[in-house]
Structure 1
Amino acid sequence: MMELAIYDMDRTVTRTGTYTPFLLHAAKALNPLRLALVPLVPLTMGAYALRLIDRRRLKEWNQRLLIGGAVPRLRLAPTVDAFADLVIRTNIHPGAVRQIDEDRAAGRRLVLATASYRFYVEAIAAKLGFDDVIATGSITGLDDIIHAKIDGENNYGPAKLRLIKAWMEKQGLARDKVKVRFYSDHVSDWPAMEWADTAVAVNPSRGLRHMAAKRGWEVVDWGF
């Protein structure tokens, strides 16, 4: 029977989130003048907090502010690679590296499932040795231009489980023929964790820690 080891990324594998740091990194590399727009980011966050926009729109607006509405992938590639190197050097939990190595040694297929954007996550996943990536997609135009618009669902909360199931169907993986381990730090991933055969709460948020205690899920600290 095939085994999958599915990892959330931000604050599970990484110490901190990667989305805003990536946008700031890209703004500085591609067009430093866009850093003047950084004070607008708290306004978009405020709109989200007040439920005037959803998480999807928040991500699209901030991407448009800091790296533009349309960026050729070829132009973005060096920035993505440099950011991935930075993440690997400075922002990975030591325990995550050990667990990834353990799952690989056990013959499990390594999958990174994250709400962050595929166009930069793939570089991080490759450097960590993941086999597959399930991430939030971007609308891509002619000449491989990445637009500040999400393609499909934002890979967060219940949507993450739907996208995992869709990926498995495309891969020809029947659920009853696969054993699934799922690692996450946040309660938003509870649908995927309940669906998995083994759920592991990693450096869990308060909500996930409480749920893990009720469900009997393993709790681990990958911070050292």
Structure 2
Amino acid sequence: MTSDPGAACEVKGVGVRRIALFDLDHTLIPFDSDYEWGEFTIALGWCDGQEFKRRNTEFFAQYQAGTLDIHAYVRFATQAIREQGAINSIAAHARFMREIVQKGLQDSALALVRRHQDAGDEVVIVTATNEFVTRPIAAALGVGELIAVELERDADGQLTGAIQGTPSFREGKVVRVQQWLADRGWDWDTVETTFYSDSLNDLALLEKVTHPVATNPDERLRAIAAGRGWRILELF
């Protein structure tokens, strides 16, 4: 176990393409961005606060328990931005970045990302949170490659509340990373991968990569990581 971000980087083979994959919520940032965005919309008066908070808390508990219906959650989570429209939603998210996200960015997380980048690694954030919420956060972390839940749009470019393609959630993260690799002419056998995650929901991808790193892990993931001899990183 280590609290040193630099110690999390494995010594890599020369000439091997290296990819550092990062979960986002509770891994690179010390909160759940989707949950906090929901709380922020309550403060804006965009929804019935009591009912939204009840359902948001319920969905969050399901996520932690590994029982979340990601399609039902995305319909719920995007309702406010669909009703408000793009202009209001983008402006509100800029406030969310200033008032919530920027204050939560940790030097230790930024240093770990930079260390991989300085080593020449491809750095990718792989998150089960939707692209609207997470793309500006990835940019704030200095990461250009984002695999997130993609939101379906209708013929007029308006969000429908549905997910486009495979959601990057649980086993879907493996599928989406594999698609990302294939788009670049790579596959699992020709790259060396490291994945940082806090959650048991990401077990499938942790088992797939070369170097799994349980990062700020929940109790269940911590127990699995300890039993399998995986690196455990206390980043925060």
TM bucket, shorter chain: 0.7 to 0.9
**Which residue among 91, 102, 111 is the counterpart of 1:98?**
111
Task: Note closer, same or farther for the CA distance 1:218–1:23 as it changes in structure 2 (3 Å cut).
Answer: same
Alignment of 1:75-224 (within 5 A): 75-223=88-236
CA distance in structure 2 between the aligned counterparts of 1:86 and 1:6, rounded to whole angstroms: 27
How far is the alpha carbon of 1:68 from its aligned partner? 5.1
Task: Note closer, same or farther for the CA distance 1:84–1:210 as it changes in structure 2 (3 Å cut).
Answer: same
**Which residue among 46, 51, 71 is the counterpart of 1:39?**
51
**Which residue among 52, 58, 61 is the counterpart of 2:73?**
58
> Conserved in 1, the CA contact under 8 Å of 2:42 and 2:49?
no
Residue by residue over 1:127-180, the C-alpha shift from the partner in whole angstroms, topping out at 9 and shown as x without a partner, is 211130000011112443223222223321111111111121122222222111
CA distance in structure 2 between the aligned counterparts of 1:52 and 1:156, rounded to whole angstroms: 11
Asked whether 1:18 is paired with 2:30, we answer no
In structure 1, runs of 5+ residues without a counterpart are none
CA distance in structure 2 between the aligned counterparts of 1:53 and 1:19, rounded to whole angstroms: 14
How far is the alpha carbon of 1:70 from its aligned partner? 4.9
In structure 1, the residue matched to 2:18 is 3
> Conserved in 1, the CA contact under 8 Å of 2:38 and 2:56?
no
In structure 2, runs of 5+ residues without a counterpart are 1-15
User: Which shows bigger deviation, 148-157 or 6-15?
Assistant: 148-157
Residue by residue over 1:61-88, the C-alpha shift from the partner in whole angstroms, topping out at 9 and shown as x without a partner, is 2432xx1545543442222233233444
Task: Note closer, same or farther for the CA distance 1:70–1:143 as it changes in structure 2 (3 Å cut).
Answer: farther
How far is the alpha carbon of 1:24 from its aligned partner? 3.2
CA distance in structure 2 between the aligned counterparts of 1:107 and 1:134, rounded to whole angstroms: 19
Name the % identity. Answer: 21
SS in 2 for 1:122: helix
Give the letter for the 1:217 counterpart.
W
Residue by residue over 1:76-135, the C-alpha shift from the partner in whole angstroms, topping out at 9 and shown as x without a partner, is 222223323344422233321111111111111110000001122111111211130000
Task: Note closer, same or farther for the CA distance 1:3–1:78 as it changes in structure 2 (3 Å cut).
Answer: same
How large is the RMSD of aligned CA atoms in angstroms?
A: 2.6
